[in-house]
Amino acid sequence: MSNGTDYDVIVAGSGLAGSLAATTAARAGKNVLLLDRNPEPEVGKKTTWGWVCGDAVAGSHINFVQNRLKVKFGQPELDRRVDGVYAVSPDLKTRFLFDGLGYTLDRPEFEAKLLQLAKQAGATYMNDFEVTGPIIQENRVVGIRGKEGKKEEKEYRAKVVIDALGISTVIRRNLPENIFVERKIDIDDIESTGRYIYEFEKDHDDLNYYDPDNALIHLNNELAPGGYGWVFPKSGNKVNIGLGVQKKSLEIRNKKMGRTDNLQSLIDNYVKWNPVLKNTRVWNKNNNGKGNWSVPVRRQMESLVFDGYMGAGDSMVMPNPISAGGIGPALISGVLAGENAARAIDNNDTSVAGLWQYNLDFNEAYGNRTAGMEIFRIYLQSLNNDILNYGMRTFLTTKEASDITLGLVPELSLASKFRMVLKGARNISAFSNLVYVMGKMKTLNAVYASYPKSPKEFPEFKKTVVSNIEEAKEKFKPNPV
Ligand SMILES: Cc1cc2nc3c(=O)[nH]c(=O)nc-3n(C[C@H](O)[C@H](O)[C@H](O)COP(=O)(O)OP(=O)(O)OC[C@H]3O[C@@H](n4cnc5c(N)ncnc54)[C@H](O)[C@@H]3O)c2cc1C
């Protein structure tokens, strides 16, 4: 066991966020240790279930990495190009296109490529290392402890520890009590999700169920209470199909419908519900054909830094609150975390204040609209299928819906529609609630536009964010059926 500082930077977890953080910190000349519990051929595997994910990512997020790191991705890791993502209403009569060009990834291949970048940049990679928690000294993070080869107890110390352990992180959860980074999150902000990768035969053409050129999202609170189902095309005759649910919404839905469904039975029903995918066989390359895991769907941690500590990706609950897309923010935050760790070390200040610029950089690159989007998610979870059908048909244009998924707030046409609806349409309260939501999104976007420039102003900022979110949670309760 060591007591001095072994490394400049320790990156815990070599998933998407971790491998990129190690790459950028090492490229900036820092002495980096990248640790993960997986053996190298399984780099980026999240759990014993595999690399559980829908694997859809926006082209803009891939471009962010390509441009910043001057690298080029291609086949096989970018498995299939898609034109965009369609969100389809429960009655399949309305669809909104959003997100633009993107890809479905071959995740094991993509993760292997990112690890190569980290190694080429000079990071020391140690696999089969199970992190068990942070080392805390004088109320700051000074290293990590864990089991090498999963047996021998070891400690490593560094000027900065970057937590990229994903949603089950044992570092963030074991930080000292502090105002900057919360140790726990609300279970209602987590989606239980699962998916299959299948080979299939196409029974007939129906773009509502399978679209070779687009990712499909099925909003349907009976099939996927408090979440959605997805059918994402992969290369050849393969598809990634799965769904996510909010636990509370599932319980309410089961009780009201007299059912006892769980995540797995819902996934299996969803596959059967799809008339286009026939003769499905699990495509089990890398033993990755079937798996369940969790996704956080709230705003990222209000601060991503603490003394000696930074977080990136799912450990900081970064996935998009509406789409649950976490690949993009994991890639972006990984790049920025490594760069900022290196800068703070050069400045000889790895305290919260010294690491603060990372908060500002992530806020600007991605995070400044997620709190508003969380409000929209809370609202969506309060709508049953009837209102979803009606609302998607009447409340919003495709452009407005697409804006909302980017956290933008459509204003004027909504106001005019409100007047129209007041003239006698149904579901006035759902619509006026949507107008309330737009107002809250605007408020939170403005709050994040003035993200605190230093830790001193942070407590007031956090109080404002939390009180707005709590107000929305109080107003909109899950109500799936
Ligand atoms: C079913 C499902 C579908 C999804 N679909 C999509 C989608 O289509 N598009 C999208 O953008 N996002 C999707 N997501 C979210 C996305 O997969 C995550 O946001 C993304 O993987 C986050 O990357 P990460 O690097 O932060 O963490 P992870 O990918 O979780 O990587 C964490 C790494 O840390 C390692 N690790 C964890 N604990 C320890 C420990 N104690 N010691 C050592 N190593 C450890 C893990 O083995 C892993 O290598 C989905 C998630 C799920 C579960």
User: Do 329 and 354 sit in the same domain of this protein?
Assistant: yes
Establish whether residue 37 lines the binding site of ligand 1, counting it when its CB lies within 6 angstroms of any ligand atom.
Answer: yes
Q: Residue 75 burial (CB < 10 Å; 0-12/13-18/19+)?
A: exposed
At residue 469, the pLDDT reads: 97
Domain boundary among 295, 311, 330: 295
CA 103/CA 136 separation, integer angstroms: 41
**Residue 206: per-residue pLDDT:** 97
Ligand 1 atom at minimum distance from 230 CA: 8
What is the amino acid identity at position 227?
G
Q: What is the mean pLDDT of the chain?
A: 94
pTM of structure: 0.96
Q: Are residues 260 and 303 in the same domain?
A: no
CB 326 less than 6 A from any atom of ligand 1:
yes
Instruction: Specify the pLDDT at position 1.
Output: 45
- Give the tens place of pLDDT for each residue, 317-370: 999 999 999 999 999 999 999 999 999 999 999 999 999 999 999 999 999 999
Among protein residues, the one with the nearest Cα to ligand 1's atom 5 is: 54
Mean pLDDT of the region 171-185:
97
Domain end (from 246, 269, 295)? 295
Check if 295 has its Cβ closer than 6 Å to any atom of ligand 1: yes
Do the beta carbons of residue 260 and residue 254 sit within 8 Å? yes
User: Residue 123: which CATH number?
Assistant: 3.50.50.60
User: Atom 19 (ligand 1): residue with closest C-alpha?
Assistant: 326
Ligand 1 centre to CA of 15 (Å) is 7
Query: Are 320 and 343 found together in one domain?
Result: yes
Burial class (CB in 10 A: 0-12, 13-18, 19+), 207: middle
Phi-psi region of 123 (alpha: psi -120 to 50; beta: other; left: phi over 0): beta
Q: Are residues 27 and 141 in the same domain?
A: yes
Closest by CA to 307, choosing from 117, 124, 118, 179, is 179
Domain finish residue from 346, 365, 384 = 365
Pocket test for ligand 1, best of 234, 327, 331, 362 (most atoms within 8 A of CB): 327
16 C-beta closer than 6 A to ligand 1: yes
148 within a domain of the structure (yes/no): yes
Q: How many domains does the chain have?
A: 3
Q: Do the domain assignments include residue 66?
A: no
Which pLDDT does position 420 carry in this prediction? 60
pLDDT tens-digit profile of 95-121? 998 878 999 999 999 999 999 999 999
Is the pLDDT assigned to residue 419 strictly greater than 80? no
In angstroms, what is the span from residue 435 Cα to ligand 1's centroid?
Answer: 34
Protein residue with its CA nearest to atom 47 in ligand 1? 46
**56 in contact with ligand 1, CB cutoff 6 A:** yes
Distance from residue 288's CA to the centre of ligand 1 (Å): 14
Measure 351 CA to ligand 1 centroid, in angstroms.
27
State whether 21 and 121 are in the same domain: yes
- Coil vs helix vs strand at 187: helix
131 Cα nearest atom in ligand 1: 42
254 found inside a domain: yes
> What range defines the domain where residue 409 resides?
370-475
Cα distance from N-terminal residue to C-terminal residue, the chain: 56
